Amino acid sequence: MFMFIFKFILLLFIALFLFILVFAFRILNFFRNGINQFNKQNRNNAGRHGRNNSYGDDEKVIDTRNPEDANKKIFTKDEGEYVDYTEEEK
């Protein structure tokens, strides 16, 4: 009778250990999937807002400004040099 109770308690401990192991694995998997999804969104957003320009072999310029700021004119309309137009004869 004592051996039966001992085996039953041992079986309960093994079942509890397996339950805890499966539960911990599911929680770990949940957080890992969340981190992967977050990283995927960051890669997509970085590609959407950044422009890559390469110069030469090794130099790379990454423009992370939003498109509205990147396409703004540097000089205002009242700045600059005005030159009279003259047509050249050939």
Give φ, ψ of 51 to 5 degrees.
-115, 130
pLDDT of residue 70: 78
pLDDT of residue 47: 55
Give the tokens for residue 8: 């039953």
Domain regions of the chain by residue span: 1-49
pLDDT higher at 35 or 1: 35
For 35-90, the pLDDT digits (tens) are: 988 888 877 766 555 555 555 566 777 778 888 887 777 767 677 666 777 888 87
Q: What ranges make up the beta strands (E) of the chain?
A: 51-55, 59-63
pTM: 0.42
